[in-house]
Amino acid sequence: MEEWRNQKEVKEKGSATNLNAAKRAQWTPPPEGWVKCNVDGTWSQTNAHCGISWVLRDEQGRVLWIGARKLPKVHSVLEVKLEALRWAILRVTGLSYDKVIFETDSQISIDRGRIYSQGRCGTCPILI
């Protein structure tokens, strides 16, 4: 009985964690007159490929454009996230929107981008 109770507590805590993560991950629209491009990449140590994708939405949440690609496996999660961001920037800038917000769930990618913009990133040539 004690073992079952402990297992139930773990499952309930896991559900609460998933619910909190879902709340944090809720999409927020861009300001009026802007579009938002959400970017992500997937990586697995065991798969031979990784995937990158982006979706561009207006302030109403309407999907304007999407893109997805399968890539040969890269070395790390960071590398695939940066490649996803690089590809999204290239594609979306070709669509002639003036006011674009790029959003990713990868804080590491964001930090590297800031460092790169300040000229201090030795591992950021992928953004070029």
Encode pLDDT of 3-62 as tens digits: 444 444 444 444 444 444 444 568 899 999 999 999 999 887 777 788 899 999 999 999
| 8 or 68, which is more confident | 68
- Residues of 50-81 as b/e, b for ≥16 C-beta within 10 angstroms? bbbbbbbbbeeeeeeeebeeebeebeebbbbb
Which sequence spans correspond to the domains of the chain?
A: 27-127
Q: Is 64 within 8 Å of 99 (Cβ atoms)?
A: no
pTM over 0.75: no
Measured from the Cβ of residue 30, the count of other Cβ atoms closer than 10 Å reads 17
* pLDDT value at residue 112: 52
Q: Name the β-bridge partners of 70.
A: 51
Q: Is 97 within 8 Å of 36 (Cβ atoms)?
A: no
Question: Residues near 91 by Cβ (< 8 Å), separated by ≥ 6?
Answer: 54, 65, 67
| 107 or 75, which is more confident | 75
CATH 3.40.50.150 fits 27-127, yes or no: no
Q: Is 65 within 8 Å of 56 (Cβ atoms)?
A: yes
- Note the pLDDT tens digit of each residue in 78-88: 888 888 999 99
